[in-house]
Structure 1
Amino acid sequence: MNKQPIGIFDSGLGGLTVWREVHRLLPNEDMIYLADSRNAPYGEKSKQDIIDLCFKNTEYLLSKGCKLIVVACNTASTNAVAELRAHYSIPFIRIQPAIKPAALQTKTKSIGILATKGTLTSELFYENTKKFAQGVTVVEQVGNGIVALMEAGKMHSEEMELLLKKYLYPMLEMKVDHVVLGCTHYPFLIPQIKEIIGYQVAVLDTGEPVARQTRNILTQENLLNETESPGKQTFYVNKNPEVFQSFLDKFELNFKAEEIDF
């Protein structure tokens, strides 16, 4: 199975921020990325709907022979990975908001979490906050509308600027010194976020830790592709392929996305 691909799925283009880090760390691995943009955003759906979509995505990636699946969506990770692991035998890598490092590093004892409703209301998020953020004020903010604007190609719109200010200014009033991005779409917005909150506030995402965990699990399971040739990168998207491609082009790697009916 070593030469079989790694599968990655997200509710759209956000997981590209995770794919980039995995590809950077494991350039010889073939990877298949599935963007379920037709059903974005996941964060506003019921838990059962999220689970059903995750099973559908997993079945598609398994049909392509994937040896491991990265669930590159915080909402999907916090709501469905336990069910996926119970049902399938292959490894699943999940994403969690970087609550622990933010809580360990804060000087003001106040951190902000910008995430989807599905992530913030999940049992896993509650458990991690309780475990790692004792004695720290956690300012939670649902990022309603952000993913929808990004998937519609409106990342640099006036609407986006107003939304970000609406969500981030209350965090600054609470003296946060770390803002945790609890959605893989959000790292694309880091330059805009820093313009609003200033560069003295740290912004944390989870792409690099997920890449390291992917490498660790592949190593433990003897699944690393040890060939020296560059891995093949395949991207599937089921809505707005031109928007997805515009974000993929930001990495300047000349990869092309394929639209599928999924």
Structure 2
Amino acid sequence: MNTSPIGIFDSGVGGTSIWREIHKLLPHENTIYLADSKNAPYGPKGKQKIVELSIKNTELLLGKGCKLIVVACNTATTNAIRYLRENYNVPFIGIEPAIKPAALQTKSNTIGILATKGTLSSELFHRTSDLYTSGVTVIEQIGEGLVPLIENGEINSPKMEKLLNLYLQPMIAANIDYLVLGCSHYPYLIPKLQTLLPKHVTIIDSGIAVAKQTQAILERHTLSAPKMNSGTCIFYSNGNPEILRDIVQGNFTVEALDF
């Protein structure tokens, strides 16, 4: 039994969508979340910079005694997780766009993926896509501008609706029946997306799958906390902690931290 915390990091507040699923499945686990909002979004940054930011976040979490680290950012996973696994002696769990279930279940043989430039241009994304999308048309769309709006608390703004309409129209015209969300910020857009997409389009994100993988890895490495433990959750932001506080809600510790 191990009560050390699970560390989670993202380029801002979006990875709280992953934290939420982990906390729901494993309420007895202690968690520490880093919102690197100062450097959001990671998507337009080059691979080397993304690796540097991921190292910085990892070392901060390890300094706080984390037993396992969830890279709750698609861009950081696709660009940096191999380096992290090779250079640090704790388990890492990454997050990838859920292309596989969409490609296997599509009836129209056309799926959409909304993701950051850093994810869509990565080698890992293309390997996964090539593996599962034979015979399936994939409409890729960079969600430029979406992360900054979410980071600023503008999820329901006219600017957000305008961008989403722009990005979704080619997918709707191509008759997608699945939309894969390839950024951990984007699940917060699901209510808005549901109003803009045809009713038959299913939206898929990776949160529940990541939570189940976290549980499996903890058990495999005998790192699980006792079930009777009352899990504590601490959140750090190097941006505006009030936006993070508004998103996570509940009686959690949310602090500003310069990192």
Counterpart for residue 187 of structure 2: 187
1:175-254 superposed matches below 5 A: 175-249=175-249, 253-254=250-251
Q: For residues 33-59 of structure 1, what are the alpha-carbon distances to aligned partners after superposition, in whole Å with 9 as ceiling and x for unaligned?
A: 000000000011000000000000000
User: In structure 1, what is the equivalent of residue 256 of structure 2?
Assistant: 259
CA drift at 1:199: 2.5
1:5 aligns with 5
> In the alignment, is residue 166 of structure 1 matched against residue 166 of structure 2?
yes
For 1:153 and 1:182, the matched residues in 2 are separated by 20
Q: 1:56-86 CA distances to partner (integer Å, 9 max, x unpaired)?
A: 0000000000000000000000100000000
- In 2: Cα distance, 1:256 partner to 1:144 partner: 31
Task: Kindly provide the amino acid, as one letter, of the partner of residue 246 in structure 2.
Answer: S
Identity of aligned residues (%): 56
SS at match of 1:53: helix
Q: Which amino acid aligns with 1:259?
A: A
- TM-score, normalised by the number of residues in structure 1: 0.97
1:50 aligned counterpart, secondary structure: helix
1:55 aligns to 2:52 (yes or no): no
* Residue number in structure 1 paired with 2:22: 22
Matching of residues 131-146 of structure 1 within 5 Å: 131-146=131-146
Aligned residues: 259
Indicate yes or no: 2:115 matched with 1:118: no
Tell me the distance in 2 between the aligned counterparts of 1:171 and 1:230: 44
Higher mean displacement: 240-249 or 127-136: 240-249
SS in 1 for 2:258: coil
Task: Return the alpha-carbon distance in structure 1 between the equivalents of residues 30 and 199 of structure 2.
Answer: 36
Measured at CA, do residues 227 and 187 of structure 1 come closer, stay the same or move farther in structure 2, by a change above 3 Å? same
Q: Name the CA distance, whole Å, in 1 between partners of 2:93 and 2:30.
A: 16
CA distance in 2, matches of 1:131, 1:258: 42
TM-score (norm 2): 0.98
1:206 is matched by which residue type in structure 2? Answer: S
1:74 aligned partner: 74
TM-superposition CA deviations, 1:181-209 (whole Å, max 9, x none):
00000000001001000321000000000
Q: Distance in 2 between matches of 1:243 and 1:17?
A: 14
- Note the 1:82-93 alignment, pairs <5 A: 82-93=82-93
Q: Once the 2 structures are TM-superposed, how far is the Cα of residue 227 of structure 1 from its aligned partner?
A: 4.1
Task: Output one character per residue of 1:8-56: Cα deviation in whole Å (capped at 9) or x when no partner.
Answer: 0000100000000001111100000000000000011000000000000
Paired AA for residue 35 in structure 2: A
Partner of 1:45: 45
Match of 1:36 in 2: 36
Aligned residue for 1:43, secondary structure, equals: coil
Q: Provide the C-alpha distance between the structure 2 equivalents of 1:230 and 1:183, rounded to a whole number of angstroms.
A: 30
The 4+ residue runs of structure 1 with deviation greater than 2 A are: none
Report what 2:103 is aligned to: 103
- Name the SS for the 1:234 alignment partner: strand
